[in-house]
Amino acid sequence: MEREGNDCVVGDTSLTASPFDGEASILRSTLLLYHVGEVTLTFHSDRLSWKLVEPLDNDVSTCLGIKYFSKVATGIKLSDIYAVELNDHGSIHISSLSPATECLFLGQDIKMYSFTVHGFIRSKTQPSQCILVEYTFGHKNLPRCQMWVNQLNASLKHEIGRPKNLLVFVHPRSGKGNGCRTWEAVAPIFSRAKVKTKVIVTERAGEAFDVMSSITNVELNSFDGVVAVGGDGFFNEILNGFLSPRFKAPYPPTPSDFVHLAKYNGDSLVLDEDEIVDGTSIRNEDQFPLIPSPKQSGSRISNSNSEDKAAEFPVPNEWFRFGIIPAGSTDAIVICTTGTRDPITSALLIVLGKRVHLDIAQVVRWKRTPTSEVEPNVRYAASFSGYGFYGDVITESEKYRWMGPKRYDYAGTMVFLKHRSYEAEITYVESDETNLTSKRDHEGNLLRAIRSPHKSEKCICRINCKVCNEKPNHASLGVCSLTPHLNSEETRWARSKGRFLSVGAAVISCRNEKAPDGLVADAHLSDGFLHLILIRDCPHASYLWHLTQLTRRGGSPLNYKFVEHHKTPAFTFTSSGNESVWNVDGEIFQAHQLSAQVFRGLVCMFASGPEV
């Protein structure tokens, strides 16, 4: 090839449709790749690839007698590109060139146009974590750069599922108070990807719930999803605000002797329209105990109106997704759905339009009113609901919010030392996949240890999980498809009664930094089951050993005689005597009697599951 005077671009070829490296290509051109040198850039249907114009022997270049080793990428998949930008015309600094190229242009003023390809690669040490990368290509001709930018952007528009408009809620005091800083760190990713964001920084507890519950379906349809910058509790607030006025489903099933005496309205819907608009059936003193949540006034989102009642917003919804950019104290949902607690990774998965289905538990509290009527109160949970130890910890921690995330460690220690147990009765639906670690009679006496003969080996939920990919057909079966394990001809109820240190229901594994395997290592994101974990009263030392096992990778926290583990689609709970409170995704929920069921794959998340 011939070098055109002092121009750094060598023998530039026209855009062609000739093959490259044995594969058909769409475009090809010779450009300067910053920090590397002159390359032949080839655009394929699914990726970009580049190759040095003058290959270096064994990837080694020599300049002034000094050897330089070239270890650079040779391509990137289109699915791993989130933005392409045309840069301003300007000089190229010598530091932008490869060592070999520097030798050719010492003392010269190099000017050219350039464009940058923004993408990501996977971390070698943490496969679930995405690392930002960018490749800048230069050329002296502006139309040439513009043509590449147009071609790449046109191809990115055909990537299925990428959002264009998002509603973003930022919790400024979440976790260590890093909510705003976290959003500022990832906002450029959305800007480069040309994703419009309507950002609401909340100013009081319950504001996100108010906005989500009052936003019209017409306006909600203009968004491709909603993003929470905060922790699990903040996401729970947004989730409940979204589902409460829109998701209509029957109450959880209960055994014949469950005495809540519920009144079903016609088609057995949980909430009627008047209750939703008023908000009193969902938002109460139990949900947001820190700051009273007044009626929405002057909202930045328009309120419901009569015309909106006719607008359709189906739930479940395949295209409307939820995203979480972690800024909380635990961030268990993010870790379980993305595999890492990294804001950059979460932001990339959102702009790339990833999708994974997530089970949602419906928790119904049955409470008698002054007129002796039973009034159901409904909450939705995406990760975990716990009573006893878990409820006492969340209650105790509210006294020490000034400590930040450390308040949970301190509160947990205080509650553990008190070692309180509670009298309760739990009934649960048995299924073919129920995994009993122990079998007890009607009074709760241990009978025998059993394992289901059909139980398969543990299957950890990860990206492209076979169990979760068997998602229900929402369009053809409606709400019934969300509870496939409850649609059998005969519902078998089992009962467990006695004194319990804790009662927990895990929707997902609940992995976090303190419990690397979570509460249940093999729990799935979307299989339609709850993992009911009952910890019976036991000696202090035994309970400590159980908690210690949770902190160990590969531990066995469920293999104890005082631990019951049941895989079930629904359960009921009734307390006796002294009571604790329920911890529903990090929010306090007072309930003497409740019932719960899980809806399979009810919502979609901007995630793809953890990498192996």
DSSP string of 469-524, one letter each residue: HS---HHHHGGGGG-GGG-SSS-EEEEEEEEEEEEEEESS----SSSTT-SSTT--
Task: Count each helix (H run) and each strand (E run) in the chain, helices first.
Answer: 14, 27
CATH class of 165-264+275-605: mainly beta
pLDDT the model gives residue 490: 74
Distance in angstroms (rounded) separating the CA atoms of residues 48 and 27: 10
Cβ count within 10 A of residue 444: 17
Residue 3 is classified by DSSP as: B
Q: What are phi and psi of 71, to 5 degrees?
A: -125, 85
**Domain spans in the chain, listed from the N-terminal domain onward:** 8-157, 165-264+275-605
Single-letter amino acid, residue 63: C
Nearest to 413 by CA among 430, 392, 385: 392
Distance in angstroms (rounded) separating the CA atoms of residues 116 and 153: 12
What number of CA atoms fall less than 13 Å from residue 357's CA on the CB side?
Answer: 25
- Omega cis (within 30) before 292: no
Cβ count within 10 A of residue 39: 21
CA distances from 27 to 21, 45, 72 (A): 13, 10, 22
pLDDT the model gives residue 177: 79
Q: What are phi and psi of 199, to 5 degrees?
A: -100, 130
- Could you give the angle at the alpha carbon of 303 between the alpha carbons of 302 and 307, nearest 5°? 100
pLDDT the model gives residue 541: 95
Residues 6+ apart with CB under 8 A from 288: 205, 206, 209, 237, 587
Distance in angstroms (rounded) separating the CA atoms of residues 60 and 216: 62
Residues of the chain falling short of pLDDT 70: 1-25, 55-72, 89-110, 260-311, 368-374, 432-458, 471-479, 488-489, 612
Cβ count within 10 A of residue 421: 19
**Both tokens assigned to 332:** 């268990």
The strand pairing partners of 10, in sequence order, are 3
DSSP 346-377: HHHHHHTT--EEEEEEEEEEEEE-TTS-EEEE
pLDDT the model gives residue 199: 97
Q: In 392-431, at which residue ranges do the beta strands (DSSP E only) sit?
A: 422-430
Single-letter amino acid, residue 586: G
Cβ-contact 80, 107 below 8 angstroms: no
Containing 214, the helix (H) or strand (E) segment is helix 207-214
pLDDT the model gives residue 257: 84
What number of CA atoms fall less than 13 Å from residue 418's CA on the CB side?
Answer: 15
Distance in angstroms (rounded) separating the CA atoms of residues 173 and 312: 34
The strand pairing partners of 199, in sequence order, are 168
Residues 6+ apart with CB under 8 A from 256: none
Containing 345, the helix (H) or strand (E) segment is helix 343-351
Chain centroid to Cα 598, Å, comes to 18
Cβ-contact 605, 161 below 8 angstroms: no
CATH class of 8-157: mainly beta
Cβ-contact 121, 80 below 8 angstroms: yes
pLDDT the model gives residue 572: 96
- Could you give the angle at the alpha carbon of 308 between the alpha carbons of 307 and 314, nearest 5°? 140
pLDDT the model gives residue 488: 65
Q: What are phi and psi of 121, to 5 degrees?
A: -130, 165
- Residues annotated as catalytic (active site), given as ranges: 232
- Could you give the angle at the alpha carbon of 335 between the alpha carbons of 182 and 290, nearest 5°? 60
Spell out the long-range contacts of 437-442 with Cβ–Cβ below 8 A and sequence spacing 24 or more.
437/558, 437/559, 437/563, 437/564, 437/565, 438/561, 438/563, 438/564, 440/496, 440/564, 442/495, 442/497
Containing 229, the helix (H) or strand (E) segment is strand 225-230
Chain centroid to Cα 3, Å, comes to 52
pLDDT the model gives residue 80: 96
Chain centroid to Cα 12, Å, comes to 46
Cβ-contact 106, 94 below 8 angstroms: yes
Nearest to 571 by CA among 312, 258, 309, 134: 258
Q: Which residues of 94-106 are buried (b: 16+ CB within 10 A; e: fewer)?
A: eebbbbbbbeeee
Distance in angstroms (rounded) separating the CA atoms of residues 112 and 55: 23
Distance in angstroms (rounded) separating the CA atoms of residues 279 and 212: 12
The strand pairing partners of 504, in sequence order, are 386, 533
Q: In 54-129, at which residue ranges do the beta strands (DSSP E only) sit?
A: 60-63, 66-69, 75-77, 81-86, 90-92, 110-122
pLDDT the model gives residue 265: 39
CA distances from 563 to 414, 542, 553 (A): 22, 11, 19
| DSSP 3-state of 81 | strand
| DSSP 3-state of 326 | strand
**Both tokens assigned to 419:** 């070692």
